[in-house]
Structure 1
Amino acid sequence: MDAVRAILQYNAGRDPERLALKFAKMRRSPFLFLRGSAHLFHARLKRSMLKPAPLAWCCGDLHLENFGSYHGSNGLAYFDINDFDEAALAPASADLLHLLASLWLAADEMDLGPEDTGDLARALQEAYADALAGGKAFWLERDTADGPVKRLLDQVGERRAQADLLARRCTGQGKRRRLRVDGRYALPASAEQIDSVTVFLAELAGAAQPGRFHEVLDVARRVAGTGSLGLDRYVVLVRGDGGANGAQLLDLKPALASTLAPAVGVKQPRFKTEAERQLAVQQRMQAISMAPVHAVSWAGRPYVLRSLQPGEDRLDLAALARQRGGALRRSLVTMGRLLAWAQLRAAGRQGSANADELIDFGQRGRGPGKWRDRLLQASYAAARQVREDAALFNQACDDGALKL
């Protein structure tokens, strides 16, 4: 496979300015390259790596930074899997393989040697398998978390307010408030783009609370994540539904087809749109989903519309790696458990294995040559392939072969 050509083909038609930011980000490290090229990881996936796992609902792009905090529909702060763009029905081990590969790659940024990384990878995998074998789906909120996750949830639950988010992302006050277009979180939108988004939201909200709900004050092209950079994505400043002086920020993001689904060769259930797929899997796998989130259609294309929250954050794993007392290990164990709980929560839905089958899978595989050892070895090999692809990508950038 020509990795560079595959990357160019997948990203064809994206906004050149944000795509340049994506490619620059992917050049920084193999871990960031992985985050920007899930489609390539899936295209290289060998189905034999995932045997004998039963089918489960999978995030589809699970890596160390796709866990984070947010406020659920009940107002409480949670820590959970938080990205479902690539969600699909797949062998349960697909998410674990990708997560373990991300750990091998992120180890460079955390100054971890191969022996320590291998020990952490095994601890994460064992936590996943043991939680799956336990057969009970738990969740993490402030009262049930401990260690670094509890400290994060305490912080976002008590100290962060909508006004703080608006102050960081905007200038001015009241009706004069405008988005801060600094190239870090947002880029300028054209007059045509602003008008198009404004008309769309007015039509969408008109029937709900005419003249008040989602009155648009400003629109910008959103800069966020890695894999989605370059998509026709917007951040919208609106008045009329909460926040400081009735203001809030919305994220309007296109919903693309999952690249995991064709790679695993599993017949997928039908959803009305790709946005409906993402939200359905999110609601199944998360204990409590973020609110509000909507699947919408704009110009005949599916989008996900949601509010940006002041409580959205991630663990600083590099900082945890420098701490004594096993803070990083505890966090990785937590991630392994969260994955198992999410799959148990979604068990038996639209083709996924039932809880008994997942429990049996978690209990099996101990000993040399069993699935746990094979998957750990496969994740190391997958990470090595990502490093090779990242090196080819960087060389192509240096040679000027990735002209936008």
Structure 2
Amino acid sequence: MPKKNASRTGLPKPGERLDLLTARRNARMARSAHAYVRGNTAKFYEWLDGMESHTLPEGPAVWICGDCHAGNIGPMANAQGRVEIQIRDLDQTVIGNPAHDLIRLGLSLATAARGSDLPGVTTVRMMEALADGYERAFDDTSDHTDIQAEKPEAVRVVMKEALRRSWQHLAEERIEDIEPHIPLGKRFWPLSKSERREIDALFEKRTVARLATELRSEDEAAKVAVLDAAYWVKGCSSLGRLRYAVLLDVDGAALDGDDLCLIDIKEAAQAAAPRYAGVRMPRDNAQRVVEGARHLAPFLGDRMRAARLAERSVVIRELLPQDMKLTIEQLTRDEAMKAARFLALVVGKAHARQMDDIERKAWLGELRRSRSKTIDAPPWLWKSIVELVSGHEAGYLEHCRRYSLDAGA
């Protein structure tokens, strides 16, 4: 099937992308307060840094997600086909304070609850469930079976779907076609000639090509060919950065779905999340993202590579059919508690596996210290959520005002 010509379809040229992506991001963030929270990582840390009514504890120096909202957690597959719920986006990962991940997750769930018209008391109970699930990850005497057995319905549905998915499902979802090309349109835009040359040259490197052959061929020298590539219009965080979808053929069998490989190339920028002073991390942003992923989400980290493309630092990862986004939009009271407890356990495990026994016990003691009679959660967590929800509500309304003016211009 021939590729569409950008000049005939009216799709944007590379130099026209930024304005269109800005408008699209603003529209997406105006949909709901929850969407505004997801797309505003930098603002989150500005608000957090400006709070004076409480002091956050300094947890052990571990790799944190840095942008730990509910949408950045979901099913991930490893090379052996095993599937688990793990953190799925590590752009903001740094060695920092684990309390930041807990607060970011709590804010995400609190805004989802407000968007679901749940009463404020439900948010209180959610934060208690959040604290309970997170703390259990650090308690060697804790049993996680009840949390696993009472997964929220959204998790049950997405895991069931992930386990049954094949390459055809991935192709139909991501590229809307199972033919060996990427159709240009709303989700994919044309590349410049120089962009295509850079991508072709990237996969001629054996270290990069090996990422595609590891799951498909025992022959390390198996031939990898770029069948197609396009600019990927995806997410809010990629604004102004390189983002490409690349379709590869492994070992010259393009019509066999098992030999097709869909690659996501994403530019790695400086993290907005604050790092601890004095810790050693890779200076290169892509290497930082890959290293953080290996610690926090090993299923994903083992399928990622850091590279250079067009003199920029990029993260390359293969997309598997089982990699899915967990969508939590409308919550009932019961599901809100289950979601908070389960997702907090996932994040807690990602943190806990990086700590030794002494660090885990000390952090657990800090988490359980100074509980009040009115809420069974750390006081600094609750105060943070209250102030951040208030600040984000105001910011969201102001964003909507500005967006309506820009959209009407």
Give the gaps of 5 or more residues in structure 1: 1-12
| Cα drift, residue 179 of structure 1 | 0.7
The DSSP-based 3-state class of the residue aligned with 1:78 is strand
Paired residue for 1:9?
none
Paired residue for 1:244?
257
Alignment partners' CA distance in 2, 1:387 and 1:123: 23
Does the CA-based 8 Å contact 1:54-1:92 persist in structure 2? yes
Counterparts of residues 77-88 of structure 1 (less than 5 Å):
77-88=83-94
Deviations 1:277-300 (A, max 9, x none): 112122112354454211112233
| Cα drift, residue 276 of structure 1 | 1.5
Alignment match of 1:191 (pick from 177, 190, 193): 193
Report the AA paired with residue 395 of structure 2: D
Alignment partners' CA distance in 1, 2:408 and 2:94: 30
Closer, same or farther: CA 147–383 of 1 in aligned 2, 3 Å: closer
Paired residue for 1:90?
96
Paired residue for 1:394?
400
Closer, same or farther: CA 259–171 of 1 in aligned 2, 3 Å: closer
Alignment match of 1:312 (pick from 305, 311, 323): 323
Deviations 1:258-310 (A, max 9, x none): 11126xx6334231411121121221123544542111122332211011121
Report the AA paired with residue 364 of structure 1: R
Alignment match of 2:297 (pick from 281, 286, 295): 286
Deviations 1:329-374 (A, max 9, x none): 222211111121111112269xxx8323223223423235997123
| Cα drift, residue 388 of structure 1 | 1.2
Paired residue for 2:287?
276
Alignment partners' CA distance in 1, 2:177 and 2:406: 42
Paired residue for 2:379?
373
What RMSD over aligned residues (CA atoms) do the two structures have, in Å? 3.5
Alignment partners' CA distance in 1, 2:347 and 2:396: 27
Paired residue for 1:18?
21
Paired residue for 2:111?
105
| Cα drift, residue 137 of structure 1 | 11
Does the CA-based 8 Å contact 1:251-1:307 persist in structure 2? yes
Paired residue for 1:218?
228
Q: Which moved more, 1:57-66 or 1:146-155?
A: 146-155
Alignment match of 2:337 (pick from 329, 333, 341): 329
Give TM-score scaled by structure 2 length.
0.81
Does the CA-based 8 Å contact 1:223-1:229 persist in structure 2? no
Closer, same or farther: CA 20–135 of 1 in aligned 2, 3 Å: farther
Paired residue for 2:161?
155
Give TM-score scaled by structure 1 length.
0.81
Does the CA-based 8 Å contact 1:135-1:359 persist in structure 2? no
Closer, same or farther: CA 171–342 of 1 in aligned 2, 3 Å: closer
Paired residue for 2:307?
296
| Cα drift, residue 236 of structure 1 | 0.6
Deviations 1:96-116 (A, max 9, x none): 111111122222332322222
Residue 359 (str. 1) matches residue 372 (str. 2): no
Alignment partners' CA distance in 2, 1:84 and 1:220: 23
Alignment partners' CA distance in 1, 2:204 and 2:165: 29
The DSSP-based 3-state class of the residue aligned with 2:204 is helix
Does the CA-based 8 Å contact 2:137-2:352 persist in structure 1? no
Does the CA-based 8 Å contact 1:294-1:305 persist in structure 2? yes
Deviations 1:139-165 (A, max 9, x none): 99xx988553344323211x2101222
Q: How many residues align?
A: 378
